[in-house]
Structure 1
Amino acid sequence: MSEILLVEMIERMSVAVTMALILAQTATFRRLVQQRVTGRDQLLLTLFFGLIGILGTYAGIPVNDALANSRVVGVMAAGMIGGPKMGLAAGLIAGGHRYLLGGFTAGACALANICEGLLAGYIHRRCPTRPIPWWLALAAGMAGETLQMMIILLMARPFAAALALVQEIALPMIVVNSIGLAIFMQIMKMARDAQRKVGAEQSHKALEIATKTLPFLRRGLTADSAEATARIIFATAGYDAVAITDTERVLAFVGAEAAHHAVPGAGLTRATRHVLATGRIWVARNRQEIGCRCGDCRLASAVVVPLVRAGLVVGTLKLYYTRANAVGDADIVFAEGIAHLFSTQLELAEIDQQAKMAARAKLKALHAQINPHFLFNTLNTITSLIRTNPDLARELLLKLSTIFRYTLHKTGRNITIAEELTQVRAYLAIEQARHGPKLKVVEDIAPHLVNCLIPSLTIQPLVENAIKHGLGPKEEGGCVWLTVREGAEAALEIVIADDGVGMDLTRHHPLRQPGNEAIGLINVHERLRGQFGPAYGLTVESRPGHGTTVTMRVPRGLEEVDDCA
């Protein structure tokens, strides 16, 4: 082995290493890391690796009318990174070029390159890790170059010249090129790991910001929610300015140049209008690409990403620098991640809004079914009392007005138990006037619980159900017990029991097989479970002839908010 040849090949190997470093910085390699390679990317990579092979040929060292070269590095790297097809294509490019150069080893070297590309592609398929680890690349390089020496001995003529050549170049090429291939693949691995680390860091930061902005964006894309969100990003992410827009105007702008970007009627920049029109991310490298109407604007580069809800672009998120060409790969990864999370939050806000609208519609449907029947019976009772007991008739009219005033102002809110009981007692007063001594009501309410909040219109439907379906069929009437007590696990329990006709729950359970006769019951149950989860809602206990007990379970500590608006 010539020590001079070994040293010279090590020097020439730097060509392949340099090309690896160049590849690691390209957008094509980033897509390769993210496993989003397109057909165009595959073609570019094939040409790139074929070029590395050709450069390895030109950097070769003449030996006995042949070349000691590093062509194998590009060919086998193609197969290890892209699979058999890319390895074969790169082998054809590099090997074809070598064949055209001529020489007594031209055919053997060309065939060897094709075989080496296929060998590397086979390793790509069989190896479960990506990219190929350095030690496997080292072994594959040694095997590939050994295969090339065997092909030269089998094909090149005269044999004596082929043997002399192999004796001269075999060991240097096997050692240097296998090391070169290992270094090439290790550079690919380090670049991939670095990009994934950047992606992980940016994703973590995006998730942290998304967590902080969740309470605001769940209200939808409004000026207030956008302002709070923009300030959180500005304080956390280190940009010179942050803006959020809808499809027509700037909702929030925080940071540099807010004086003219945040004013009403400032309008959207050209970059923003482009993103709204295309639905694709846009990186502005300079002031001209941002397209601000203010000639003195200091914002010099930006990344603009669309905010999407239900497949439609509803706005943009814009991250600015005051330096030109300042947007890097990390900024793009961060912007894409945060925009995706924001879009998800906006879709959840839309779902919440639709759910609340559905709940309100269901509540109104309940009123529509209850109120006419109840109003008809109440007015008949009042009519019959006007002559016989005008004072009671007047009192019932006041109770009736209390009920409808409550319905008008309290529906869909969390209110105190005391407020709910005011409406329930007004309803019971009317029912007792209608049924006389046949209806008795017993209350057992813990005084310290009356200021706890519960959803409105939850107790009255249960009381009405007990009177109408429990006591109504009994000629002698009966009693309704209303109990408010503390339950387990910081819950409230409101129990409505009657000694009415009862029912056989094994044959028909009103919460599992709802019918028209239990619309109030099932409505309350579904509202509570939908708002608080499956641990809350109603439970029913009943036996034919022994009455019915309905227990409503709600959490303590509710806020006084509009739960259906």
Structure 2
Amino acid sequence: MKAVQTHDVLELANKTLPYFRQGLTEASAQKAALEIKKFMRVSAVSVTNRHAILAHVGAGSDHHIPTREIITDLSREAIETGRIQVVRQKAQIGCSHPDCPLEAAVVVPLFVKKGVVGSFKLYFTDASNLTYVDEQLASGLGHIFSSQLELGQMALEQGLLKDAEIKSLQAQVNPHFLFNAINTISALIRVDSEKARHLLLQLGHYFRANLNSTRQNVISVDSELKHLEAYLTIEQARFPNRYEVIIDIPEALKSAAIPPFMIQILVENALKHAFTGRKKDNKVWVMARQKASGYLRLTVKDNGQGIAPEKLALLGKTVVTSEKGTGSALENLNKRLMSLYGNQAIFEVTSDQSGTSFVLQIPFNQLKETTT
């Protein structure tokens, strides 16, 4: 590694740029680790998130295995303190495996928005090969890799928000939704002009809320419920008495901050998919509770037909094709939660023949009112 020149470092940064921009995943970490080892000529390279080994290339790969929890005390120390750790004794690495060949290491924490998200590690089987120059080079690379991760995170957030905005704008001119709503209102004008007027106001509120929500990362639960009410009013006019949506949210939680569309997406998903062919006794419950641990827990459950196990495992993680959609709204919601809250967010789905339950958990924050 002593022969590594400035242009080599720049080339390494360029090579790893597309991988770290993808975030800390097993696939991106493996590719980045291979590039780092090729350029640095160290005994091993490892990349982790805050909890698990994502990639390990080189000596010790028989027990430093990706997907396993971090096994060295040294790595845990770097992640917990946010400081570079350098050791030149095997015992200081803290690996519990009796035949671990690693004798020295530099562990560099990786940051996004001043928070530690993981680490990369340079290992040596001969402690004499680790020099002060190596330490400085590792530190510099840590800054470069952290910058790449942060840029990738920013691009992801902007992309997800843009995707949400596009979906919202598409909904405003969606021919099916708009056509059905206008047809319903037109039919009502002849028999109940007051109800038709009310539906027009709700339709306007629905579109206006969609547009306003795309400009904000979070809104209040109360604002989201008003958006949901507008959507449900239109759906209930089209299908009278087919659905019953029960809201159980304490008044004190209505000022809590949540991502836009968080509730509406889950309720809409239930109405579209849970009750196929069933025209009565269709119920959806929306509940919110504040946990003692400082989290807001939101549950949306239905008494529908349930979800097939093979599709259940994929919901929120990828596109799930069905006759009534692709599940992309759930995937987008899950990605937005992970983007905004990281490992603090929970997205869980359980289902059986008695119905489906979505549980979302995020840090509890009161939305601060702003004045202009």
Give the aligned residue type for 2:3: R
Corresponding residue number in structure 1 for 2:269: 465
Task: Establish whether residue 525 from structure 1 lines up as the match of residue 316 from structure 2.
Answer: no
1:352 pairs with 134, 149, 153, which one? 153
Query: 1:470: Cα distance to partner?
Result: 1.4
Query: CA 1:353/1:441 → structure 2, altered by over 3 Å: closer, same or farther?
Result: same
Query: CA 1:558/1:348 → structure 2, altered by over 3 Å: closer, same or farther?
Result: farther
Query: 1:341: Cα distance to partner?
Result: 6.1
The size of the alignment, in residue pairs, is 243
**SS at 1:503 equivalent:** coil
Task: Establish whether residue 494 from structure 1 lines up as the match of residue 298 from structure 2.
Answer: yes
CA displacement, residues 254-311 of structure 1 (integer Å, 9 cap, x when unaligned):
xxxxxxxxxxxxxxxxxxxxxxxxxxxxxxxxxxxxxxxxxxxxxxxxxxxxxxxxxx
Structure 1 CA distance for aligned equivalents of residues 279 and 340 of structure 2: 39
1:386 pairs with 189, 203, 225, which one? 189
1:551 pairs with 352, 359, 362, which one? 359
Structure 2 CA distance for aligned equivalents of residues 537 and 493 of structure 1: 9
Query: 1:444: Cα distance to partner?
Result: 0.8
**Counterparts in 2 of 1:249-398, with a 5 A limit?**
343-344=144-145, 346-367=147-168, 370-371=171-172, 372=174, 373-398=176-201
Is this contact kept in 1: 2:253–2:289, CA < 8 A?
yes
Larger Rg: 1
Query: 1:482: Cα distance to partner?
Result: 1.0
Unaligned runs of 5+ in 1: 1-33, 39-206, 216-331
The structure with higher relative contact order (CA 8 Å, sep 6+) is: 2
Query: CA 1:550/1:339 → structure 2, altered by over 3 Å: closer, same or farther?
Result: closer
Corresponding residue number in structure 2 for 1:444: 248
Is this contact kept in 2: 1:482–1:496, CA < 8 A?
yes
**SS at 1:526 equivalent:** helix
Query: 1:519: Cα distance to partner?
Result: 2.2
Query: CA 1:403/1:338 → structure 2, altered by over 3 Å: closer, same or farther?
Result: same
Is this contact kept in 2: 1:510–1:522, CA < 8 A?
no
Q: RMSD over aligned Cα, in angstroms?
A: 3.7
Structure 1 CA distance for aligned equivalents of residues 346 and 245 of structure 2: 23
Query: CA 1:508/1:408 → structure 2, altered by over 3 Å: closer, same or farther?
Result: closer
**SS at 1:436 equivalent:** coil
Query: CA 1:510/1:367 → structure 2, altered by over 3 Å: closer, same or farther?
Result: farther
Structure 2 CA distance for aligned equivalents of residues 377 and 510 of structure 1: 31
Query: 1:345: Cα distance to partner?
Result: 5.0
Task: Establish whether residue 419 from structure 1 lines up as the match of residue 228 from structure 2.
Answer: no
Query: 1:366: Cα distance to partner?
Result: 3.3
Structure 1 CA distance for aligned equivalents of residues 340 and 347 of structure 2: 13
Query: 1:480: Cα distance to partner?
Result: 1.5
Structure 2 CA distance for aligned equivalents of residues 529 and 341 of structure 1: 23
Query: CA 1:334/1:469 → structure 2, altered by over 3 Å: closer, same or farther?
Result: closer
Corresponding residue number in structure 2 for 1:454: 258
**Counterparts in 2 of 1:209-248, with a 5 A limit?**
none
Query: 1:339: Cα distance to partner?
Result: 7.2
Query: 1:340: Cα distance to partner?
Result: 6.0
**SS at 1:471 equivalent:** coil
Structure 2 CA distance for aligned equivalents of residues 467 and 542 of structure 1: 15
Query: 1:499: Cα distance to partner?
Result: 1.7
Corresponding residue number in structure 1 for 2:69: none
Structure 1 CA distance for aligned equivalents of residues 307 and 148 of structure 2: 44
Structure 2 CA distance for aligned equivalents of residues 333 and 525 of structure 1: 40
Query: 1:375: Cα distance to partner?
Result: 2.3
**Counterparts in 2 of 1:57-76, with a 5 A limit?**
none
Query: CA 1:336/1:498 → structure 2, altered by over 3 Å: closer, same or farther?
Result: closer
Query: CA 1:383/1:533 → structure 2, altered by over 3 Å: closer, same or farther?
Result: same
Is this contact kept in 1: 2:312–2:349, CA < 8 A?
no
Is this contact kept in 1: 2:169–2:211, CA < 8 A?
no
Query: 1:456: Cα distance to partner?
Result: 0.9
Corresponding residue number in structure 1 for 2:349: 540
Structure 2 CA distance for aligned equivalents of residues 555 and 495 of structure 1: 15
Is this contact kept in 1: 2:344–2:363, CA < 8 A?
no
Give the aligned residue type for 2:188: L
Query: 1:474: Cα distance to partner?
Result: 0.8
1:429 pairs with 219, 233, 249, which one? 233
Identity of counterpart residues, as a percentage? Answer: 29
Is this contact kept in 2: 1:214–1:345, CA < 8 A?
no
Structure 1 CA distance for aligned equivalents of residues 303 and 236 of structure 2: 16
Query: CA 1:469/1:531 → structure 2, altered by over 3 Å: closer, same or farther?
Result: same
Is this contact kept in 2: 1:415–1:454, CA < 8 A?
yes
Query: 1:423: Cα distance to partner?
Result: 0.6
